[in-house]
Amino acid sequence: MIPVVGFAGEKLAVLGLGRSGLATARALRAGGAEPVCWDDNAAARERAESEGFTCRKLTREDAFDDIASLIVSPGIPHLYPNPNPVVKQALKAGVPVDNDIGLFFRSLATREWDRFEQLPKVVAVTGSNGKSTTAALLQHILEEAGRESQLAGNIGRGVLDIDPPGDGGVVVLELSSYQTDLARALTPDVAVFTNLSPDHLDRHHGMGGYFAAKRRLFAEGGPDRAIIGVDEDEGLFLAGQLAEGPGDDRVMRVSSGQKLMGPGWNVFVRKGFLSEYRKGRQAASVDLREMTGLPGAHNHQNACAAYGAARALGLAPRQIEAGLKTYPGLPHRSQTFATSGGVRFVNDSKATNVDSAIKALSAFKNIRWICGGLEKEGGLEALKGQTSNVVKAYVIGREAAGFAMQLDVASEVCTTMAQAVEQAMADAGEGETILLAPAAASFDQYDSFEKRGDDFMAEVARRLE
């Protein structure tokens, strides 16, 4: 646990009592503060009260009379699409609003660090797609190289729930726009921006607000090193804003598909080979083509970002290559989990938006594509012209028929996962891939993308027995 500092003897309100909310309340108490908790869910309040926390309805008129700060869980919208009434009441009362990420950055360093030979480092990874894989891949590389490391944030453990890092330890954080948007302190040593595509637009009131939330990770405190994916205009713009000149190697540009040259520090992949260039000269090359845990151009971009972050932490190219080779991949993210009769089965249930689905579709050939679910804002227009690798689509979800009508590829309305798997396996032949890449949220049929992916794998396993 990371005890929260700076609030001893004060009351702080905690809104939302899920994983991060309860961890925040515990960390506040460990630092000598008095958490005052609230969640609209009665069961969540009961869990908090069973641990000895006080619950108070934060919408009552005098709720913030004795509160020093309001800590909001990342899943709770605070401004858009509509102002949250609790957050608005806190702001009217002049009470600062923060989240667990802000508390983490203000509380991580302790006097014990004065005795360390090498100070701990924090690497924070954000972006629309690939941030989970990039963060997990970096942590795997560090482990393989013998560096103490922990994975937290939007993946792994809650940021305040981790162990205090030791001498030379590294904390790798995956941070969503929900987490960067509200944090009052954002001071990583290394910050990574993978890419940007439309997502969570209602929460951020459009693409401008979404990009602004991501940009805060680089603008609020200023990392020592910034690893920036420049395959989209926003990344190119961000790299330009951060660099003092063409040769400023505090900014490392990464790309999957472009050859990046110039006097700066660049990492890119072309034709399956990762290249590192610094001061106009090649420093290293890694062959990614046979690395089964990193299939496709999107994973090659993730490999570039993780490679760049590892280099910024001082690892040698061959150490990083060894970690890339042994990376098994993350569950539900381009996860090859079975092969049978020459057919490959890939679970990419995390492809919850159109852009991530397009990346998955480009990674494999001869695809039997299982897709569908709760459509996100923007519709499916961007999928058109991106399905050349698809033999046939098998559409699930409550609105499967409407979803199928928007596709520019042969499709079959299946509605349920069981029916989609049954039909795709009956149709598939040697050399084909049955891929779950929904291009939609899961909430019309499942509690989470993990549950959807688990169901897909279970249906496949049942038929392969």
Q: Does 130 appear as a known binding residue?
A: yes
> If you count DSSP H runs as helices and E runs as strands, how many of each does the chain have, helices first?
15, 20
| Domains of the chain (ranges, CATH numbers) | 11-98 (3.40.50.720), 103-326 (3.40.1190.10), 335-464 (3.90.190.20)
Q: Distance between CA atoms of 188 and 212, rounded to whole angstroms? A: 17
pLDDT in tens, 86-136: 999 999 999 999 999 999 999 999 999 999 999 999 999 999 988 999 999
**pLDDT higher than threshold 80 for residue 378:** no
**pLDDT higher than threshold 80 for residue 383:** yes
Number of neighbouring beta carbons within 10 Å of residue 155: 19
Q: Does 153 appear as a known binding residue?
A: no
Residue 222 binned pLDDT confidence (cut-offs 50, 70, 90): confident
User: The whole model's pTM is what?
Assistant: 0.85
pLDDT in tens, 131-142: 999 999 999 999
Q: Does 347 appear as a known binding residue?
A: no
DSSP β-bridge partners for residue 435: 346, 369
Q: Does 187 appear as a known binding residue?
A: no
**pLDDT higher than threshold 90 for residue 331:** no
Closest to 357 in 3D by CA, of 199, 202, 205: 199
Averaged pLDDT of the chain: 94
DSSP β-bridge partners for residue 193: 126, 228
SS3 for 307-348 is: HHHHHHCCCCHHHHHHHHHHCCCCCCCCEEEEEECCEEEEEC
pLDDT at 415: 96
Q: Does 59 appear as a known binding residue?
A: no
pLDDT in tens, 166-221: 999 999 999 999 999 999 999 999 999 999 988 788 899 999 999 999 999 999 88
Q: Are 198 and 378 in contact (CB under 8 A)?
A: yes
Q: Does 128 appear as a known binding residue?
A: yes
Q: Does 131 appear as a known binding residue?
A: yes
